[in-house]
Chains A and B, each alone.
Chain A
């Protein structure tokens, strides 16, 4: 059983559309991170959320941490082809060195 479940697994949308990606768990986390990975490259850290209910914005990306710190969402406004990639949520389990990744959401933004 995956500790972090992401949905949807795959999303293909037209440029200019909005979308939301979800990251859910039955466990409570002290913090949660979102990464984006482009083909053939390593994941790039986008944001870290720490406080329940926290909302962070990064240009057209809005990240939210659930009040109970068990889930998170990533909303992209007016998606662009450059947003194409694999979106991964991750948490440091038990505040150890082990970063646990979610199952991933593969996003394709068509021009």
Chain B
């Protein structure tokens, strides 16, 4: 099983809403990642979890709050987002650091 799943596929939220994005993998990978991708741009790293601990935060605003409940799950909690946060949010996992990451299909987020 080389699949990373993400839910929901699409999300529309207002600037005062609180929502969560979910990611799951069952490949036994110990590193998990959140990326943000704007249209026609490459993905930009947001957070890295290694062995369920946050190891990298790329100076992401606090309105994005990651959580890793266990080695298979990764959440991204969203609160008080801005319209410019609208993007494709991608989750990925890898067996080892940085190497050969497997991406989920992404969540298309629209902030109104």
- A interface list, Cβ under 8 A from B: 31, 33, 35, 40-45, 48, 88, 92-93, 95-99, 101-104, 106
Interface residue? B56 (CB, 8 A): yes
Within 8 A of A (CB), among B76-109: 88, 90, 92, 97-106, 108
Q: Select one of B31, B100, B108 contacting A40, CB under 8 A.
A: B108
Q: Select one of B40, B55, B90, B97 contacting A42, CB under 8 A.
A: B90
Asked whether, in the complex, the Cβ of A42 is within 8 Å of the Cβ of B41, the reply is: no
Asked whether, in the complex, the Cβ of B100 is within 8 Å of the Cβ of A104, the reply is: no
Closest Cβ–Cβ distance, residue A40 to chain B (whole Å): 7
Listed A/B pairs (11) with beta-carbon separation below 8 Å: A35-B103, A40-B108, A42-B4, A42-B104, A43-B43, A45-B102, A92-B98, A96-B97, A97-B50, A98-B45, A103-B42
Asked whether, in the complex, the Cβ of B50 is within 8 Å of the Cβ of A43, the reply is: no
Closest 4 A/B residue pairs (Cβ): A92-B98, A42-B103, A101-B42, A97-B48
A98-B48 in contact given A40-B108, A42-B92, A103-B42 (Cβ < 8 Å): yes
Most chain A CB atoms below 10 A, which of B98, B105, B106: B98
Residues of B within 8 A of A98 (CB): 45, 48, 56, 98
Residues of A within 8 A of B50 (CB): 97
Q: Select one of A31, A42, A48 contacting B106, CB under 8 A.
A: A42
Closest to B9 in A: A40
Asked whether, in the complex, the Cβ of A42 is within 8 Å of the Cβ of B105, the reply is: yes
Asked whether, in the complex, the Cβ of B101 is within 8 Å of the Cβ of A45, the reply is: yes
A45-B100 in contact given A98-B56, A99-B45, A104-B42 (Cβ < 8 Å): yes
Complex Cα gap A70–B97 (Å): 20
Closest to A31 in B: B99
Closest Cβ–Cβ distance, residue A86 to chain B (whole Å): 8
Closest to B32 in A: A97
Asked whether, in the complex, the Cβ of A99 is within 8 Å of the Cβ of B105, the reply is: no
Asked whether, in the complex, the Cβ of B41 is within 8 Å of the Cβ of A104, the reply is: yes
